[in-house]
Chain A
Amino acid sequence: MTEMTNMTLEQASELAQQLKTEIGKAVIGQKQVIHETLIALIAGGNVLIEGVPGLGKTLLVRALAATFSGQFNRIQFTPDLMPADVTGHTLYDLDNKSFSVRKGPVFTNLLLADEINRAPAKTQSALLEVMQERQVTIEGEAHPVPLPFMTLATQNPLEQEGTYPLPEAQLDRFLLKIYINYPRDNEESLMVAAVTNKQTGNQLNISNVSAVATPATIQAMQALAADIEVDKSVIEYAVRIVQATRDWQGLSIGSGPRGSIALISAARAQAMLHARDYITPDDIKAIALPALRHRVALAPEMELEGYSTDQILQGILDKIEAPRQ
C-alpha cells in the first residue's frame, strides 16, 4: 500500500494506473467505465451509472473501495425507503437518558445508491446535501462524512414502471453520467471463466484486489488534480459548449453553469491521469458526453425520431469552434 500524501504528478498518474489495474482484476473489461469512475473520484464528484442489471456495477464499487481500503456501503432504493434510512436518525437512549445519533449508511467513503430512481423524490433528496456539502444534518446538527466521499448511483434504463425519475436539481449534482454496456465477447468469456473458477454461490469475488492506496492518498490526488493549470481559452471553450446546449435545436433544456464547472473539474482529473499539469481542449472533448448528457433534455420531436442525447451532444461538439490562438 502506498502512503503518499505529498506526491508528484507522475506518482499520482502511476498510482491511478495501479488503481485501474487492481479494479481490472475484479471487473473484467469495461475499461471506459473504470476510467470515468476514477475521473469522478479524483475530481471529487459523484457518478450516475446507467445500465441494465448484472453488468458489475456493485462489483466495480466494491473493487474501487478495496483498492484504497475505503469504507463501502450500499443502499438498495425501494419505494418505501425513508430519508432517515439513508442519512441516519437520533434515538433516545434509556440508559443515558439522552438522545444519541445513529448514523445512516451515507457515512462511508463510497456509497452505492442502487436503483436510485425506485425511491420517491423525498428520499432521493436526502442525498442532495451529502452529495454537495459532504455533510449530513441530523436533528439540526451537521455531521461530516468521511473523506474522500463519492456517491455512485445506478439506474436501470429499461424498467420505467413505478420509478421516480431523478429531479433536475439532483441530476445536476452528479459530475458524470456513465453508460455501462454489455461486455464484449472475449471479455465476457474471460469474466465467466474468472467468476466461476473455484467459486460456490454467486457472491462477488474481490479477494484478488489488493489495496494500493489509502483514503489520504486519494485526497492528495484530489488536491493535486484541483491544482492543475487551466488556460482561459480552455475555460471559454467549455463555456461555449455549455452555452450552445441552451439554444441548440433538438434540445429542450440546456445545461446550467454546473455543466461548465463539471467539464473543467473532470478535465483536470483526466489531465492528471495522463500525468499532465495543464488541460487541453482534447480533455474537455473527451469528457463532454458523460459530463453533460444528464444535464440536457432532448426535444420531444428528436426523441420521437429516435435520436439520443449523445448524438445531439456530439453534433454540438462537431460544430463548436475549438480554441486557437
Chain B
Amino acid sequence: MNLNEITANIRLRNPWEAIDLGFSMVQKWWLSIYLPLALLTFGIASVLYLIFPKGNVWIASLIFWWLKPLYDRVILHILSHKLFNDELSTWQVLKALPSLIWNTGLFQSLTFRRFSLSRGFNLPIWQLEQLRGSRRSERQSVLHQIAHTYAAWLTIVMVNIEIVIVISLFGLFMLFLPEKTANDFFVGMFSNKVEYERWIDLLNYLFYVFAVTLIHPFYIGASFALYINRRTQLEAWDIELDFKKLALRFETLARNLIPALLCVFTLSLLSTSSPVAADEATNLDTTSETQVTEFLSDERLPAESSKQVIKETMLTKELNDKQTVTYWVRKDTAKKPKNDPDKFSFADFFEPFAKIMGFIIEFALWILVAIVLFLLFYFRDSWLHLFNIERKAKKESYQAPEVMFGMDVRPDSLPDDIISESRKLWDNKQHRESLSLLYRGALIRLINIEHVQLKDSFTEGDVLKHSQKKISEAKHLFLDNLTNNWKMIAYAHRHPTNEAMEQLFNTWVSDFAIENVLSDLESNTPKKDGSKDE
C-alpha cells in the first residue's frame, strides 16, 4: 500500500461524508466494478436457477442472498486496487477469485458472521489487513469505536433500498400488463389466492439479482470509505500525505535551486530578460492530483454569498412542500347515547367491580414482573454464565498441544522407557540431556495424562503453580524436586549428585508415573514377580 498512489481525496471527514465518498468512488469506477460483478452474480444466479427449478426458486434466491459476502470480496478487491491507482482487468478480477475465497475468512462470513451488521466495514480487516484471531478482534474493536453505528445503519439502509428496488421494478412491470391481469394479480396477492406462475418467480428472482448487483457495490464502497476514514482518523493519513507532498516540493526546490541560481547569474551577466525558466522549474506540479472526491463545486463562494445561496435553496419547492391530509372521523364518537337509567343492566352493575378487579390484576402483574426481575438479578450468577458459550466451549475443547516451548510434546516423541533411557544418558555423563529428557517426560505427562493446560509462555515456576491443584501432593512434590534440579542444570550449569538423580528415577516410578503403571497393569496381564513397567 503506497499512500502516494492514493486516488481519493484523503481528509478527515465525518462518517456521512465518508459514505458519500464511497458512493462517489463507485460512480467513478462503475465500469471496472459492474462488469466483473455482473458476470459473477448473474453467473451464480443462472446456475442456482438451473439447480432449483419450478417451485423452488425461493431457495435459489435465498442462496443467492446468502452468498453476498462473496460478492463483497470481489467488489472490495476491485475498489482497493482502484483506490491505490492499480487498474484491474475483468479477467484479473476473476482470476483472483480463488484466493479471495480461501484467504479472506469467507467461511466465517458465510456461517456464524453472516448476520453481522458491520460486515462490510469489517471486511477490509479480514481481506486487506489479513488479521486473524485476537489481533483481529482487538483491531476491530478499535476501528469500531466511532464508526460501528454508522456501519450498522448503512447495512440496514442498503438492505431496505434493495427491497424497495425489487418492489418498484415489479410495480413498473405491472404497469405494462393489461389492466385485468394486473388487477387479478394484486387482488389475488392480498387474498392469498395467487396461483403459482413460473414467470412471477423468475421475474422476482431476476429483479432481486439485479437489485443486489446494482446496490451492493454502493454498500461495499461506502463501508470501505468509512473504514478508510476511520484509519485516517487513527493514523493521520491526511497529515502524512501533506507532509509527503511538502517533502517532495522541497526536494524539487532543492534540485532546481542550483541550476536556477546559475541561470540567474548567467542571465544577469548577459543583461537579458528575467529567468522565467527558473520560476517554472520551481512551480512544477509535484503532486498527483486526486481523481475521486465528493461532488463539490469547483468554485468556492465567500461566506456572504454562500449564505445567500443557502437561503435561496431553502426557499425551493422541494424544501417547502406543504400537504393537506384528510382522513375519516367517526360521527358518533362525539356523542355517546346514554342508557336508560331505569333499565337494569348487568354490565353496568358489574362495571365498577370489573374495573377494580382489572386494577388489582394489573397491579399484581406488575409486582410479579418486579419480583421476576429481582430474582433474575439476584440469581444472575447461576444463569449469566450460560451466555458465556465461547469461553465454555474453549475450555471444553482444550486439546493437548503437539509442540510446546519449541519441544515436541507428543507422547510418541518419548522413548518407550524414559527412566532407562535417562539413566543411560546419565551414566554416559550426558547429565543435561538426561535431566532434559526427564523434565520433558514430566511435561508430556502433565499435558496428556493429567490434562494440565500449559502455555508456551509458562516458566518452570508457572508450570509448578498451575499443576499444583491438578495433581496429587506426592506428584507435585516430585515435580518440584525435578524442576529444581532441572533449573540448576539449565541455568546454573551444575548437575545434581548421583544419589539425588537415583532418587528422582525411583520417585518417578513410585510416585509420579503411578497411574501409568496401574493402567498398564490393567491392560496387560499382571506380572507375577511384581516388577514394574517403566
Contacts and interface: CB of A to CB of B under 8 A. Distances in A.
Nearest to B463: A322
A233 B490 contact: yes
Interface residues on A, range: 20 to 34
B459 A322 contact: yes
B307 interface: no
B490 A321 contact: no
Interface in B482-500: 487-488, 490-493
Query: In this complex, which of B436, B458, B460, B491 has the most chain A Cβ atoms within 10 angstroms of its Cβ?
Result: B491
B138 A250 contact: yes
A280 B461 contact: yes
B436 A319 contact: no
Contacts of B316: none
B461 A231 contact: no
A324 B138 contact: no
A281 interface: yes
Interface in A271-325: 276-282, 284-285, 301, 304-305, 317-325
A234 interface: yes
15 contacts: A229-B493, A277-B492, A278-B488, A279-B491, A280-B491, A281-B459, A281-B460, A282-B460, A282-B461, A321-B405, A322-B456, A322-B462, A324-B405, A324-B406, A324-B407
B437 to A, nearest CB: 12
Query: In this complex, which of A280, A305, A323 has the most chain B Cβ atoms within 10 angstroms of its Cβ?
Result: A280
A132 interface: no
B422 to A, nearest CB: 15
Contacts of B141: 305
Nearest to A234: B491
Interface in A234-287: 234, 249-250, 276-282, 284-285
B442 to A, nearest CB: 13
A280 B460 contact: yes
Given A319-B456, A322-B457, 4 more contacts: A231-B491, A231-B492, A278-B492, A321-B456
B424 interface: no
Given A231-B493, A322-B405, A324-B407, A280 B459 contact: yes
A322 B458 contact: yes
A249 B457 contact: no
Contacts of A282: 459-462
A305 B135 CA distance: 16
A247 B72 CA distance: 32
Nearest to A317: B457
B145 interface: yes
Interface residues on B, range: 20 to 34
Nearest to A276: B492
A191 B129 CA distance: 56
Contact of B457 (A234, A301, A305, A321): A321
A250 B458 CA distance: 22
A282 B480 CA distance: 14
Contacts of B455: 318
Interface string B417-449: 000000000000000100010000000000000
Contacts of A278: 487-488, 491-492
A318 B455 CA distance: 8
B461 A301 contact: no
Contacts of A304: 145
B277 to A, nearest CB: 47
Given A280-B487, A285-B461, A301-B145, A249 B135 contact: yes
A230 B142 CA distance: 40
Contacts of A249: 135, 138-139
A279 B138 CA distance: 35
Nearest to B143: A301
B270 interface: no
Interface string A19-47: 00000000000000000000000000000
Nearest to B490: A325
B234 interface: yes
B456 A301 contact: no
Interface string B138-151: 11011001000000
Contacts of B462: 282, 285, 322
Interface of A: 229-231, 233-234, 249-250, 276-282, 284-285, 301, 304-305, 317-325
B457 A319 contact: yes
Given A280-B459, A281-B460, A301 B234 contact: yes
B491 A320 contact: no
A282 B530 CA distance: 41
Interface string B48-82: 00000000000000000000000000000000000
Query: In this complex, which of A230, A285, A320 has the most chain B Cβ atoms within 10 angstroms of its Cβ?
Result: A285
A277 B490 CA distance: 13
Contacts of A318: 455, 457
Nearest to A282: B461
The 6 closest A-B pairs by CB, nearest first: A278-B492, A324-B405, A282-B461, A281-B459, A231-B491, A322-B459
A280 B461 CA distance: 9
Contacts of B436: 325
A114 B493 CA distance: 44
Contacts of A320: 457
A321 B142 CA distance: 27
A324 B459 CA distance: 9
Interface string B461-472: 110000000000
Nearest to A284: B459
Contacts of B457: 317-322
Nearest to A321: B456
A233 B145 CA distance: 41
B117 to A, nearest CB: 21
Contacts of A301: 142, 145, 234
Contacts of B459: 280-282, 284-285, 322
A19 B234 CA distance: 50
Contacts of B491: 229-231, 233-234, 278-280
Contacts of A319: 456-457
A250 B138 CA distance: 9
Nearest to A320: B457
Nearest to B436: A325
Interface in B141-178: 141-142, 145
Nearest to A250: B138
Contacts of B135: 249
A250 to B, nearest CB: 7
B23 to A, nearest CB: 28
Contacts of B456: 319, 321-322
A286 B493 CA distance: 22
A234 B490 CA distance: 10
B251 to A, nearest CB: 29
Nearest to A237: B459
Nearest to A302: B142
A144 B432 CA distance: 47
A231 B489 CA distance: 10
Nearest to A229: B492
